[in-house]
Copies of this chain bind each other. A is one copy, B any other.
Amino acid sequence: MAPRSNYRMQKIPEMTIRRLSLYTRCLVQLEEDGKKTISSLALAERFNLNSAQVRKDLAYFGEFGVRGIGYYVSGLKAELQKILNLDREWQVALVGYGNLGSALFRYKGFARQGFRISAIFDGDPAKAGRTVDGVTILPMMDLAREVKARSLQIAIVAVPAESAQAVTDRLVAAGIKGILNFAPSRIKVGKDVRLKNVDLSIELETLSFYLAQATR
């Protein structure tokens, strides 16, 4: 395997990065099943992927296939985890500990991929001071100090729509570089901050489209 160390992130489509996450999950599964090697075709067939797409996506980062063998499962998994920076643990700040915030805090998928919510902030004085699974909910006034003190770079925003922009501005001012926004509102950040809006109803809308088509 010959990973490229000098790939330029600017040229890599975000969908490729999303698929790398998916491939990593597939490889973890194969490793658990005891598979040592797999061809790109077998990988594609087993997980319902497109094998040409798999090869194209991986080619951004290096030459991982071995002629006549395919991919070494553990080796490729480790390389992809390194590329995605999942070979480390990320400490994540969570702002908003309502229904959605508490569900996200307990969402098993984050911890499994190395994301640990280690700081929780909430504007409700009744919540501040409570400790959940070893993490103390802090008041909003502590946000800037704590984010800086812990050098946190990633934050999850799970506050009501109307306070999402104000919360985001405070996070960015405190040094947060990546934001996952669950508030159903459009928020803005500067160019040096990466923002991902998660809109759960878009998924239902695509279902709605296809279901209606089927009955037309």
Q: Let me know if A63 is at the binding interface, CB within 8 A.
A: no
Check if B85 sits within 8 Å of A211, measured CB to CB. Answer: yes
| Tally of A interface residues using CB under 8 Å | 57
Q: Let me know if A112 is at the binding interface, CB within 8 A.
A: yes
Selected interface stretch from A33-41, A69-77, A176-184: A176-184
Q: How far is the CA of A194 from the CA of B212 in the complex (A)?
A: 11
B-side contacts of A203, CB under 8 Å = 180, 196, 198
Check if B85 sits within 8 Å of A212, measured CB to CB. Answer: yes
Check if A205 sits within 8 Å of B21, measured CB to CB. Answer: yes
Least CB separation from A194: chain B residue: B210
Check if B198 sits within 8 Å of A21, measured CB to CB. Answer: no
Check if B177 sits within 8 Å of A211, measured CB to CB. Answer: yes
Interface string of A87-120 (1 = CB under 8 A from B): 0001010000001101110111110110100000
B-side contacts of A92, CB under 8 Å = 204
Q: Let me know if A142 is at the binding interface, CB within 8 A.
A: no
Given A21-B202, A90-B204, A196-B203, A209 contacting B110 (CB threshold 8 A): no
Q: Let me know if A53 is at the binding interface, CB within 8 A.
A: no
Check if B107 sits within 8 Å of A22, measured CB to CB. Answer: no
Q: Let me know if A67 is at the binding interface, CB within 8 A.
A: no
Q: How far is the CA of A179 from the CA of B192 in the complex (A)?
A: 37
Check if A86 sits within 8 Å of B214, measured CB to CB. Answer: no
**In the complex, the 10 A-B pairs of residues with the closest C-beta atoms, listed nearest first:** A103-B103, A85-B212, A178-B207, A9-B213, A99-B103, A109-B201, A109-B184, A100-B103, A21-B205, A113-B201
Instruction: Name A residues whose Cβ lies closer than 8 Å to a Cβ of B.
Output: 9, 14, 17-18, 20-22, 29, 47, 83-86, 90, 92, 99-100, 102-104, 106-110, 112-113, 115, 153-154, 161, 177-180, 184, 186, 192, 194, 196, 198-214
